């Protein structure tokens, strides 16, 4: 039997801490259910004490998502642990993940605690959590920059206190494979009671080494990898789940370890998370980027046609990257639409489905062929909509080379309808100013990009924007065959995400 590596997914916790990310409650449950289908062992569903919405998300996932262990994050204090335990009440299998910084810099500058105070806090937190839930994980935040002797001491103490899993995070993405592998090796050798626990690793990607560091740790004895789908997370993100899993699967000669991941679910999961979080996947991202299996140069195409393995080390099918040959059109009907959406791994509630179908029909009137990429864009809005959301009713544009661009815009929120008009430097600017008047947010456009989703002059244009209010930012996406409409939708989407973030904060 090969050594099993436990996959601990923290997309809904550390991943949600990505700058610009914001996931609705409904979106989070969808992601959790898909992570269960993907076969992750542990889902870290959130940080319950941090806000009521986080608490609700962890509670709902604990109730509805079956299969994996559901974990909640808690600082090493009673209040956090109490709230965390409460949120996990309905889970079949639950874990309290409690953490405390252990490096000198964090202890002195952030926590203002001595090492012995920290040691006591960690032990007390683990013992306290054990009083409620059997499965307790302790993380020594900033472990990779922690004094080694102190790290060994605190690991030994929390294991004695009952920690089932001890996590050694590289919180700031500073370590390297040799150094981190060496650290894990030393922990395995020097900590007296190490065989009573599982060593976990949690790497950030500030130097682009998240996956490499995690694998070096596995080779040296770690048996749990904490990661996120698409590698999203604080700053440059976390170790990417799909990279670690596919490296283990592809290079069994070097890494003779197994995971419980059903790799064919990877691409679907990646798509869903990019839709729900609003963070698109870079085209050249390993495993899940749209170019990951694209061969552009003539020499490469020729090689692949003659023998696939000349330029392909894994098959697109093995990660569920199957291009549909089914192209929908206006005659496809509800059934065709429904089955294609299902095949893409997207679940919609009846009301969401009806709205998405309406949009599909409208699009099919304008565009002969509807590709999978079009469908993903159509359902994105329906998934991210919440009751707090502004929905675009209509807009009108007056523009020309001898007119001041002007835009009346109407937005609906619940049953209320708002209308405003504004002038601007261009039609998009005018519409954005009108939206700001309605929402009363002094939102600034920080970034704007437009791309065609599919080919041809009737292509669906996809607009991505980043907006900021003070130092809070959010991204938004909108799509339409009309690029002004796509721009307006993207802005409304970003504003909704900003409002959700503000509420959460
Ligand atoms: O990066 C980190 O140290 C964390 C801990 C809370 C595990 O996210
Ligand atoms: Zn982290």
Q: Are 55 and 87 in contact (CB under 8 A)?
A: yes
Ligand nearest, relative to CA of residue 201: 1
Instruction: Count other C-beta atoms under 10 Å from residue 329's C-beta.
Output: 12
> Does domain 3-277 fall into CATH 3.20.20.70?
yes
For residue 380, is pLDDT > 60? Answer: yes
For residue 143, is pLDDT > 80? Answer: yes
What is the per-residue pLDDT across 54-113, written as a single tens digit (0 to 9) for each? 999 999 999 999 999 999 999 999 999 999 999 999 999 999 999 999 999 999 999 999
pLDDT category, 258, cuts 50, 70, 90? very high
Cα–ligand 2 centroid distance for 29 (angstroms)? 21
Cα–ligand 1 centroid distance for 135 (angstroms)? 18
**Distance (Å, whole) CA 412 – CA 419:** 9
Q: Are 46 and 63 in contact (CB under 8 A)?
A: no
144-173 average pLDDT score: 98
Q: Are 220 and 184 in contact (CB under 8 A)?
A: yes
Q: Give 457 or 33, the one with higher predicted confidence.
A: 33
- Residue owning the nearest CA to atom 7 of ligand 1: 139
Q: Give 368 or 115, the one with higher predicted confidence.
A: 115
For residue 324, is pLDDT > 60? Answer: no
Two tokens, residue 405: 């661009």
Instruction: Count other C-beta atoms under 10 Å from residue 313's C-beta.
Output: 9
pLDDT of the residue at 453: 66
For the chain, what percent of residues have pLDDT higher than 70? 94
Q: State CA 242 to chain mean position distance.
A: 12
**Distance (Å, whole) CA 157 – CA 135:** 16
pLDDT of the residue at 381: 62
**Distance (Å, whole) CA 464 – CA 475:** 7
pLDDT of the residue at 376: 73
- Which positions ≥6 away from 89 have C-beta within 8 Å? 59, 62
Q: Which atom of ligand 1 is nearest to the CA of 17?
A: 8
Cα–ligand 2 centroid distance for 203 (angstroms)? 7
Ligand 1 pocket mutation pick from 13, 14, 45 by most atoms within 8 angstroms of CB:
14
Q: For the domain bounded by 391-504, which CATH number is listed?
A: 3.30.160.270
Ligand nearest, relative to CA of residue 200: 1
For residue 231, is pLDDT > 90? Answer: yes
Maximal CA-CA distance, the chain: 80
The verdict on the CB of residue 171 being under 6 Å from ligand 1 is yes
pLDDT category, 375, cuts 50, 70, 90? confident
361-369 average pLDDT score: 77
How many C-alpha atoms does 67 have within 13 Å on its Cβ side?
A: 15
347-363 average pLDDT score: 83
The verdict on the CB of residue 146 being under 6 Å from ligand 1 is no
- Range picked from 43-57, 271-285, 358-372 for highest mean pLDDT: 43-57
- Residue owning the nearest CA to atom 8 of ligand 1: 14
Q: Give 499 or 260, the one with higher predicted confidence.
A: 260
**Distance (Å, whole) CA 103 – CA 115:** 9
**Distance (Å, whole) CA 49 – CA 87:** 9
Tell me the whole-structure pTM to 2 decimals. 0.79
Cα–ligand 2 centroid distance for 168 (angstroms)? 10
**Each residue of 373-400: b (16+ CB within 10 Å) or e?**
bbbbbbbbbbbbbeeebbbbeebebeee
For the chain, what percent of residues have pLDDT higher than 90? 65
pLDDT of the residue at 505: 65
E-state strands within 83-191: 94-101, 136-141, 165-170
What is the per-residue pLDDT across 460-492, written as a single tens digit (0 to 9) for each? 788 888 888 887 877 788 888 889 999 999 899
Q: Are 168 and 200 in contact (CB under 8 A)?
A: yes
Lowest mean pLDDT among 322-326, 410-414, 422-426: 322-326
Q: Are 383 and 26 in contact (CB under 8 A)?
A: yes
pLDDT category, 501, cuts 50, 70, 90? confident
pLDDT category, 323, cuts 50, 70, 90? low
Give the residue among 40, 95, 90 at the shortest CA–CA distance from 68: 40
What is the per-residue pLDDT across 428-459, written as a single tens digit (0 to 9) for each? 999 999 999 999 988 999 888 887 766 666 67
**Distance (Å, whole) CA 384 – CA 363:** 20
Two tokens, residue 111: 């926590």
pLDDT category, 118, cuts 50, 70, 90? very high
pLDDT of the residue at 457: 64
Same fold, 3-277 and 391-504: no
pLDDT category, 335, cuts 50, 70, 90? confident
- Residue owning the nearest CA to atom 1 of ligand 1: 171
The verdict on the CB of residue 202 being under 6 Å from ligand 1 is yes
Give the residue among 5, 1, 51 at the shortest CA–CA distance from 25: 51
**Distance (Å, whole) CA 118 – CA 100:** 8
Q: Give 503 or 248, the one with higher predicted confidence.
A: 248
pLDDT of the residue at 50: 96
* Per-domain boundaries in the chain: 3-277, 294-383, 391-504
Q: Give 467 or 296, the one with higher predicted confidence.
A: 467
For residue 360, is pLDDT > 80? Answer: yes
pLDDT of the residue at 471: 78
Cα–ligand 2 centroid distance for 238 (angstroms)? 7
- Which positions ≥6 away from 440 have C-beta within 8 Å? none
Q: Which atom of ligand 1 is nearest to the CA of 10?
A: 8
Ligand nearest, relative to CA of residue 171: 1
Chain-wide mean pLDDT for the chain?
91
pLDDT category, 342, cuts 50, 70, 90? confident
Cα–ligand 2 centroid distance for 94 (angstroms)? 20
Radius of gyration of the CA atoms of the chain, in A: 24
**Distance (Å, whole) CA 124 – CA 19:** 33
pLDDT of the residue at 472: 80
pLDDT of the residue at 171: 98
């Amino acid at each position: 039997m090969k050594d099993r590596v436990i996959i601990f997914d923290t997309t809904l916790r550390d991943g949600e801490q990505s700058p610009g990310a914001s996931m609705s409650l409904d979106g989070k449950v969808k992601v959790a259910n898909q992570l269960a289908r993907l076969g992750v062992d542990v889902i870290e569903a959130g940080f319950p004490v941090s806000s009521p919405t986080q608490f609700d998300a962890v509670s709902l996932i604990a109730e509805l998502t079956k299969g994996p262990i559901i974990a909640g994050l808690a600082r090493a204090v009673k209040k956090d642990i109490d709230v965390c335990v409460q949120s996990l009440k309905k889970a079949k299998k639950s874990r309290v993940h409690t953490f405390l910084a252990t490096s000198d810099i964090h202890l002195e500058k952030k926590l203002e605690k001595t090492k012995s105070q920290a040691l006591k806090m960690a032990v007390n937190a683990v013992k306290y959590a054990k009083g409620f839930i059997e499965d307790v994980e302790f993380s020594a935040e900033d472990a990779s920059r922690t004094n080694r002797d102190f790290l060994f001491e605190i690991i030994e103490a929390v294991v004695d206190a009952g920690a089932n899993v001890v996590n050694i995070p590289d919180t700031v993405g500073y370590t390297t494979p040799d150094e981190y592998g060496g650290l894990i090796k030393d922990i395995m050798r020097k900590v007296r009671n190490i065989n009573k626990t599982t060593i976990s690793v949690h790497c950030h990607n500030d130097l682009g080494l998240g996956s490499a560091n995690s694998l070096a740790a596995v080779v040296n004895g770690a048996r749990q990898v904490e990661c996120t789908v698409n590698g999203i997370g604080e700053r440059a993100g976390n170790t990417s789940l799909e990279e670690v899993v596919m490296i283990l699967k592809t290079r069994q000669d070097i890494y003779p370890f197994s995971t419980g991941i059903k790799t064919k679910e990877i691409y679907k999961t990646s798509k869903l998370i990019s839709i729900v979080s609003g963070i698109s996947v870079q085209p050249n991202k390993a495993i899940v980027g749209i170019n990951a299996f694209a061969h552009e140069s003539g020499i490469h195409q020729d090689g692949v046609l003659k023998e696939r393995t000349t330029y392909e080390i894994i098959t697109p099918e093995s990660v569920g990257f199957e291009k549909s040959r089914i192209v929908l059109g206006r005659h496809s009907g509800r059934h065709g639409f429904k089955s294609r959406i299902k095949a893409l791994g997207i679940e919609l509630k009846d009301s969401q489905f009806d709205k998405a179908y309406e949009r599909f029909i409208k699009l099919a009137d304008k565009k002969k062929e509807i590709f999978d990429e079009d469908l993903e864009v159509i359902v994105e809005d329906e998934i991210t909509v919440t009751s707090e959301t502004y929905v675009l009713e209509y807009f009108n544009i007056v523009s020309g080379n001898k007119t001041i661009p002007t835009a009346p815009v109407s937005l609906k929120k619940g049953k209320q309808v708002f209308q405003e008009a504004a002038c601007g430097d261009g039609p998009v600017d005018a519409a954005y100013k009108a939206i700001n008047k309605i929402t009363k947010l002094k939102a600034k456009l920080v970034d704007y990009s437009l791309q065609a989703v599919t080919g041809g002059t009737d292509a669906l244009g996809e607009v991505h924007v980043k907006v900021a209010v003070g130092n809070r930012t959010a991204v938004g996406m909108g799509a339409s065959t009309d690029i002004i409409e796509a721009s307006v939708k993207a802005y409304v989407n970003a504003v909704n995400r900003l409002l959700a973030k503000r509420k959460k904060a």
